[in-house]
Amino acid sequence: MTATPIPAGGKRSAPAGRRDSVPAGRRLPAPALRYLVLTVGALIMVLPFAYMVSTSFKSQTYVLSLPPQFVPHPATTANYTQAWTGDNFSRYFVNSLVVAAVSTTLSLLLSSMMAYSFARFRFPGREVLFKLLLLGLMIPAMMLIIPQFVLAKYLHLIDSMAGLVLFYVGSSLSLNTFLLRGFFAAIPVELEQAMQVDGAGAIVRYWRLILPLAKPALATATIFTFLGSWDEFAWALTIINTPTKRTLPIAIALFQGQNSTLWGLVFAASIIAVVPVIVVFLLFQRYFVQGLTAGAVKG
């Protein structure tokens, strides 16, 4: 396929007739059609969620009734009270919160230090080490779950929340370092040199200059790391045995496992877990976009 050669910025005056031959009104009015298609698509995206919300207010008798109930009648909030009060659920919520918060803090500290080193210093082995780190972006987490389990067992981290935190930090380092390094490198070196002349050491420059200036990138990294840990399922399923140490995704998946699934309960619990995520997403949308476009997001 050879592309039509079009001179860049060419202001060739087209024959008047040809311009008119572009049929503007031949099809349905473009904006109307566009909105119709978009609306149908958006409905497909949103309706499953709406139905989930609806089901979370139904009692078990009505969850799979035919024809399906779209507006729960009678509506009940029993699923929410049962989800929240029963079976340690609030405990799981706190577990998830603690694990995600600690993992995020540690990961951001360590990866911003690495990013600073890669962005601002020239040292033997820099290229090789950076490429090694990028390798971490290409290896899907599931591929390593068996050897990581053996390692965790060796380190006595099985069935502990420390085991969750450590491996969540480990698996987020590559992406965060990559993301932050790019941002740090764009900060003018002259600012640092000015501070250096005033006698500021590397730690001071990193903490007082680079980190405050890199707030948008840090926000992006925070959101992705936090949500990654908050939603993580496979690793927690594998190493956590004690019920009180479960995180939310495990707890929700286990609601399903017990005999016939109590769908109202499952979805009430799901909504409790999902609402914080959606709120964070709506508030910090632009950081999501930055994170997505700056690098790979496994998921």
Partner 1 sequence: MTAVLDVRTPSAGSPPARPGRAGRRPLGRPARSHLTAYLFLAPGFALFLLLIIYPVIKAFQMSFYDWNVVAGATSQFTGWANYVKAYHDPVFWRGLANSAFYMAVTVPPQIALGLFVATLLNNKAPGRALFRVLFYLPVVTSWVVVSLLFQYLFADSGLVNWMLHDVTHLTSHRTSWLSGRWTGMVAVSALGVWKGIGWSMMIFLAALQGVPKELLESAEVDGAGRWQRFRAVTLPSIWPAAAFVTVMLVIGGFNVFISVLLMTNGGPADSTQVLLTYMYKQAFTYLNFGYGSAIAVLLTLGVFVLSAIQLRAFRGDAEELA
Per CB under 8 A, which region of 75-83, 84-92, 213-221, 286-294 contacts partner 1? 286-294
Does residue 276 interact with partner 1 by CB under 8 A?
no
Instruction: Quote the least distance from Cβ 87 to partner 1, whole Å.
Output: 16
Does residue 169 interact with partner 1 by CB under 8 A?
yes
Give the Å distances, CA to CA, from 295 to 83, 180, 182: 37, 11, 10
Per CB under 8 A, which region of 74-82, 87-95, 211-219, 266-274 contacts partner 1? 266-274
Instruction: Quote the least distance from Cβ 281 to partner 1, whole Å.
Output: 5
- Closest to partner 1 by CB, 57 vs 178, is 178
The residue length of the chain stands at 299
- Residue identified by tokens 């009104």 is 25
- Is the CB of residue 165 less than 8 Å from the CB of residue 103? yes
Interface of this chain with partner 1, residues 172 to 201, rule: CB under 8 A = 173-174, 177-178, 181-182, 184-186, 189, 192-193, 196
Q: What is the helix (H) or strand (E) element at residue 37, kind and residue range? A: helix 30-56
What is the distance between the alpha carbons of residues 179 and 194, in angstroms, rounded to a whole number? 25
Does residue 94 interact with partner 1 by CB under 8 A?
no
Instruction: Quote the least distance from Cβ 259 to partner 1, whole Å.
Output: 15
97, 129, 209, 213: residue in contact with partner 1 (rule CB under 8 A): 129
Q: What is the helix (H) or strand (E) element at residue 39, kind and residue range? A: helix 30-56
Q: What is the helix (H) or strand (E) element at residue 279, kind and residue range? A: helix 263-283
263, 265, 268, 287: residue in contact with partner 1 (rule CB under 8 A): 263
75, 78, 101, 134: residue in contact with partner 1 (rule CB under 8 A): 134
Does residue 243 interact with partner 1 by CB under 8 A?
no
73, 153, 208, 215: residue in contact with partner 1 (rule CB under 8 A): 153
Per CB under 8 A, which region of 77-85, 87-95, 150-158, 211-219 contacts partner 1? 150-158
- Closest to partner 1 by CB, 245 vs 250, is 250
Does residue 79 interact with partner 1 by CB under 8 A?
no
What is the distance between the alpha carbons of residues 235 and 159, in angstroms, rounded to a whole number? 11
Give the Å distances, CA to CA, from 2 to 6, 11, 223, 254: 12, 22, 44, 56
Does residue 170 interact with partner 1 by CB under 8 A?
yes
Number of residues that bind partner 1 (CB under 8 A): 127
Does residue 25 interact with partner 1 by CB under 8 A?
no
Instruction: Quote the least distance from Cβ 105 to partner 1, whole Å.
Output: 13
Does residue 16 interact with partner 1 by CB under 8 A?
no
DSSP code string of 79-95: HHHHHHHSTTHHHHHHH
Q: Exposure of 179 by Cβ count < 10 A (0-12 exposed, 13-18 middle, 19+ buried)?
A: buried
Does residue 26 interact with partner 1 by CB under 8 A?
no
101, 137, 209, 213: residue in contact with partner 1 (rule CB under 8 A): 137
CB under 8 Å, gap of 24 or more: what pairs does 143-151 form?
Answer: 145/234, 145/235, 145/238, 148/235, 149/238, 149/239
Within 10 angstroms of residue 176's Cβ, the number of other Cβ atoms is: 27
Angle at alpha carbon of residue 181, lines to 180 and 185, rounded to 5°: 120
